[in-house]
Structure 1
Amino acid sequence: MEDAENLAECGLDPELRDRLLNEQVECTFIWTNKAGQPFGVAMSFIWRKGSIWLTAAGTRARIPAIRRTGYAAAMISSVGTTIGPGKTVSVRGRCIVHDDRATRDWMLPELARAIRKDDEAGAQAFLALLDSPGRVVIELKPDYELNFDSKKMWARKPDAAPPGRFDH
Structure 2
Amino acid sequence: MIGSEPDRPRVGVRDIEDLRGTHLAADDRDELFTAQTECTVAYLSREGWPAAVVMSFLRRDGRFWLTAVGGRDHLESLRGDPRLTIVVDNRGTGLPGRRMVAVQGTVVVHEDRATKDWFYPAFAERMAADDPAAFVRLLDSPRRAVLEVTPTGRQVSHDSRKIAGDGRGGPRS
TM-score normalised by length of structure 2: 0.84
1:95 offset after TM fit, Å?
1.1
1:35 offset after TM fit, Å?
2.7
Structure with the higher fraction of residues in helix conformation: 1
> Hey, what's the Cα distance between the residues in 1 that align with 2:117 and 2:139?
11
Corresponding position of 1:145: 155
1:137 offset after TM fit, Å?
0.5
Greater than 6 Å deviation, 4+ residue runs: none
Q: CA RMSD in A?
A: 2.0
Does the CA-based 8 Å contact 1:90-1:146 persist in structure 2? yes
- Which structure has the bigger radius of gyration? 2
1:156 offset after TM fit, Å?
7.6
Count of matched residue positions in the alignment of Structure 1 and Structure 2: 159
1:134 offset after TM fit, Å?
1.0
TM-score normalised by length of structure 1: 0.87
Does the CA-based 8 Å contact 2:43-2:84 persist in structure 1? yes
The answer for unaligned runs of 5 or more in structure 2 is: 1-10
> AA paired with 1:150?
S
> AA paired with 2:148?
E
> AA paired with 1:147?
S
Percent identical among aligned pairs is 36
> Hey, what's the Cα distance between the residues in 2 that align with 1:156 and 1:114?
30
Corresponding position of 1:104: 116
Distance 1:5 1:96, change over 3 A: same
> Hey, what's the Cα distance between the residues in 2 that align with 1:11 and 1:54?
25
Q: How does 1:22-101 map to 2 (within 5 A)?
A: 22-101=34-113
Does the CA-based 8 Å contact 2:42-2:52 persist in structure 1? yes
The answer for unaligned runs of 5 or more in structure 1 is: none
> Hey, what's the Cα distance between the residues in 2 that align with 1:156 and 1:97?
39
